[in-house]
Structure formats: structure tokens, C-alpha cells
């Protein structure tokens, strides 16, 4: 996120089980908080991984606040649409780890 403009992007990398790079991704978000940009990065990564057909995933994030928010919220009670969408994808598989 650029502090002077408030414009943000989200992105990440997809690696195989040996840690080898498969692909990177990014998305322009416009004006967005750092917290929501982190959530968008996780959501976009999960959607990409699902489309690629992977069924065992480890998610790495440098934001403890985001990880706690995802793990501590029930998808029904969460006020965040992004967290509910992440929960929806994670509930479709049994092999997600954060």
C-alpha cells in the first residue's frame, strides 16, 4: 500500500511442496486498508490454487492480525465479507493450513 495515495495491491506466490515457484499473482485494489489488502491476497491465492486443482495448501501470511481474524471468526458471525469468502473456500476442502 502506498501511504501517500492509499492505493493498494494484493499478491502472492504459489509454490509446490518442495518450495519451488509455480506462479505469482497480483491484483490492484484501489483505496484499501492494509488489513483488507492482506485478506484480498489470501482470498485471491485460494481461488487460484483451487482453480489449479491443488488440495493440500499451507497459507503463509506476515500479518498475525489477519491470521487471528480468519481463524477466530466463524463464517456465520463474521462482519467481514472477505473473511466469510475465505471461510467458504476453506470449508470446501479439508486440507487447509495457516
Residue 72 has which C-alpha cell?
477466530
Domain-wise residue ranges, the chain: 7-97
Q: What residues does 24 pair with on adjacent strands?
A: 13
CATH class of the region 7-97: alpha beta
pLDDT band at 53 (very low <50, low <70, confident <90, very high): confident
With 60 as the cut, is the pLDDT of residue 46 above it?
Answer: yes
The whole-chain average pLDDT of the chain stands at 85
The alpha carbon dihedral of 46, 52, 53, 58 has a sign of negative
**In 3-state terms, the chain is what percent helix, strand and coil (to 5)?**
40, 25, 35
Mean pLDDT (whole number) for 81-90: 90
Whole-model pTM: value is 0.83
With 80 as the cut, is the pLDDT of residue 52 above it?
Answer: yes
- Residue 8, classified by CB atoms within 10 Å of its CB into exposed (0-12), middle (13-18) or buried (19+), is buried
For position 36, what pLDDT does the model report? 93
Amino acid at each position: 500500500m502506498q501511504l501517500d495515495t492509499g492505493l493498494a495491491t494484493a499478491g502472492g506466490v504459489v509454490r509446490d511442496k518442495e518450495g519451488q515457484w509455480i506462479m505469482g499473482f497480483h491484483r490492484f485494489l484501489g483505496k484499501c486498508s492494509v488489513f483488507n489488502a492482506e485478506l484480498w491476497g489470501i482470498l485471491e491465492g485460494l481461488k487460484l490454487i483451487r482453480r489449479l486443482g491443488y488440495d493440500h495448501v499451507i497459507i503463509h501470511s506476515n500479518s498475525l492480525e489477519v491470521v487471528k481474524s480468519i481463524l477466530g471468526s466463524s463464517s456465520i458471525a463474521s462482519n467481514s465479507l472477505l473473511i466469510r469468502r475465505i471461510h467458504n473456500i476453506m470449508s470446501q476442502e479439508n486440507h487447509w493450513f495457516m
